[in-house]
Structure 1
């Protein structure tokens, strides 16, 4: 269904090649870094708001000063897509070093949106542990983001619901996609696109995410040599969920093989000798100095 909608809307998507959609949603991730969005509440961010994204209307722009978390909810009638994009951090090392490395239960029950008296599913299992800093940052904008996205989902029943973000924004998008599905459902409409995303939680979290009905539409894109995708480290008890894609030095994007019973990919993550912080902004040209707000 997603493929047919995107093709009809002008996005080229052969059914076997989802990678052709990656530049579109990283553009939304890049737009979330633009201050104009947070000051005006409108999708006004220069070249990053251009092209296929230009018809986007922002419904909510949430910016939490206490945690620096930020995300917007918008609707794009040309792409027939509801988009929820989260801002990353301006400091690449902050994703794994400056935020709290301790883990907390992945349970957002205490912050359930007030307009959902009967959540679609039960609370997330208490055995799931996630990065405390990421959880706190997400909860700073959760109350504004989730209900707005749910209202749009009901208003536009044929539209896909896409969560996206770069770096820290990717971690927040991953939490939001899982949380949204657990609270509201919409299993057949949710997709997740993250770029340069750090690890979010422990092995239990990663395997839980892999088992969700929406997990086959989770796309975790990493640039070869991006150090942030290796944070927090495995030895600290963190693990990625599946479906990693890697952007190679020649500009091509390939699907990574997955190690047995793991979301990790030794074929793609075994590049420790090539780490370069500059590569954390090297995602289809939308996050580096060539693309300004």
Structure 2
């Protein structure tokens, strides 16, 4: 892979967003190739590494970690990986992405505790929220690459709740949201362990202990969500799919019967009334 002289020129933090846009366009037009096959992806920005080929879950994790890691001092390297995150989210085949995100969600859950309770619809928790900045909070999170539906501020306690899509892609986004804050040492453990909170937001994926917590946070989660395990949701999804297929089959059968009836009426010959001819009488 070749690099232009531009790669030798440093950029400032203020130029990062524009640089991400340029790299993103290169990914879109195929200048940088990511997908090698249905199961194998590569990072075009890490030549020389022993592991440059990844399955889907790893390429997305790799791009997210490098793009969001606070320890990354190379701004251009960070920008390239942020563009890769955007490309994976926006431009890979949607059906392919959805199925792989589903597999990743289940794998992550099974890797920890299959009975772990999550708040559903999927929600993330923001703590140490500055009330004066709540109006632009969603904008700021979106710029950081967090794919969300909406942000709701709680009336006290310095909390806000981030809502994600209800499907498996939303589950994955919520996990990435949590990872984003953990790598910056602003995750759930950091929030509760700190004797004095650092500046900035803390965030994590809402779980059972948050749901049952006392105060405004627990009240909001209990009022607006339920607790589900991944196994329960998978079973429910399969049940809904079976019902949908049965309903569609029934509808198709009814339409087929109506069509048969219409065709039968169309093909049935009309009733012919024979009028006998009268012979002329001869005298």
Q: TM-score, normalised by structure 2?
A: 0.28
More strand by share: 1
Radius of gyration: which is bigger?
A: 2
Q: TM-score, normalised by structure 1?
A: 0.28
